[in-house]
Amino acid sequence: MTGPWTDWDHVLKVDPDKDLVDGETFSDVCRTGTDAIEIGGTLDVTTDKMQRVVEACSRYDVPLYQEPSNPGVVIESDDLDGYLVPTVFNADSSFWVTGAHKEWVRIDGPLDWDRTTTEAYIVLNPDASVAELTEADTEQAADDVASFAAVAERMFGQEIVYIEYSGTFGDPEKVAAAQDALRESTLFYGGGIGDYDAAYEMGKHADTVVVGDLLHDEGVDAVRETVEGVNDAHAETVAE
């Protein structure tokens, strides 16, 4: 499993439906030190909003990926490095595991398969929009999370396993359990990363820390602190 994400410590997720902090630009966003930018959101996202962000970020030398929440917001652009497509392993309905993806292929197929990769989401915050939308079963113990991660990697060949706590800081024990269950897949963590300490804590367990709301709420200086936090955690892990 040798996708570019194996070298990512930090990903910045930009929600096209949300504004940047007053006075900040996408030039500032692309200079935070993040390893890649994902463009995506759960609610009120349109192709026009997606396109606006893609065009604004494409001028800068940062890998740029779309994370579509549904087939209707996918845009085709050479400015994108690829598509990271969620598949929610603990969703109540198979629609969010394969159903929405089948519809995308049916409507727009064949897809750009060389640039399309799925992310095996394990959604664990019951109050998150993605949990409500997919009716995810978020009541998962650490061994359940580890088992989902192993299934995603070993049975379904997922290159990315994504522990999603969007809106709140998650349980490091569950993130560590997922990491211990994986052999080669890259473990993403997202949720509640609001400062250096939070990024450092989850950086001790996850391969890649994803920061989203912080950009829109606090701005690029706060994002830079999270880049520093996860990089320090990973540097210490390598040194041990």
Annotated binding site for Mg(2+): 15, 42
Report the C-alpha gap between 16 and 110 in whole angstroms. 26
What residue numbers does the annotated binding site for sn-glycerol 1-phosphate cover?
13, 162-167, 192, 212-213
Task: Say how many C-beta atoms besides its own lie within 10 A of residue 111's C-beta.
Answer: 15
- DSSP designation for 6: G
AA identity, residue 195: D
- The C-alpha torsion from 184 through 156 and 119 to 148, rounded to 10°, is -80
Q: Which residues contact residue 102 at a Cβ distance below 8 angstroms, ignoring those fewer than 6 apart?
A: none
What residue numbers does the annotated binding site cover?
13, 15, 42, 162-167, 192, 212-213
* 31-55 residues labelled b (16+ CB within 10 A) or e (exposed): ebbbbbbbbbbbeebeeebbbebbe
Report the C-alpha gap between 193 and 134 in whole angstroms. 23
